Amino acid sequence: MNRLHSIVALLIFFSCRSETNNAVVTSPIKPQIARVDTIPRKKFDLPIEYNNYIVDTFAGKRASINYDSSPTARRFRSAINGSIEKSGMNFAGHYNLARWGCGTSCINGAITDLKTGKVYDIPVASLDYEFRNDRRLLVVNPPDSTGYYDYCSYCEPELWVWNEKVKKFEKLN
């Protein structure tokens, strides 16, 4: 058995020896990979005209939240309370718009009527929302400041207007 080990050791020794001691070792050439954006950018052509949706702002006493007004109010009471405490009235003159994450590329939320305490659902977004405290216009997945957005199946900007009479959002585009 010792003789077998010796033979194997000699074979390994001689097979690992270099033929020439002066050989120059070069590393393989790494290919250059050009950076290419995989998500195309697209221009949002519709004008976002907040001035067409001006409303008066409410300065009265805030109503208690009616958690029985919607399933969303019951399920997300902490997020709604936190948003009201932090931001107060921040949408359409007398509403608080609260938002929270609902998974990868998913943002959801609700608006609370600070006059009545009722809670209403808002459209789901993939990226974020843009809105004003004295306007009824809600931009879902807003474009950047130059009017462009990353084009994908769920990233396209949407314009929604709050209809005060029927208490629902109506899509403009």
The ranges assigned to domains in the chain are 41-171
pTM of the model: 0.75
Which pair of structure tokens corresponds to residue 92?
């359409």
Span 151-167, pLDDT tens digits: 888 889 999 999 999 99
Q: In which band, very low, low, confident or very high, does the pLDDT at 18 lie, cut at 50, 70 and 90?
A: very low
Q: What is the dihedral of CA 154, 103, 122, 92, to 10 degrees?
A: -100
Taking 50 as the threshold, does the pLDDT of residue 23 lie above it? no
* Least confident span in 20-29, 85-94, 103-112, 156-165: 20-29
Span 40-98, pLDDT tens digits: 889 998 889 999 999 999 999 999 999 999 999 999 999 999 999 999 999 999 999 99
State the Cα–Cα distance between residues 134 and 56, nearest whole angstrom: 6
Count the helices and strands in the chain (H runs, E runs).
Answer: 3, 9
Taking 80 as the threshold, does the pLDDT of residue 127 lie above it? yes
State the Cα–Cα distance between residues 35 and 51, nearest whole angstrom: 41
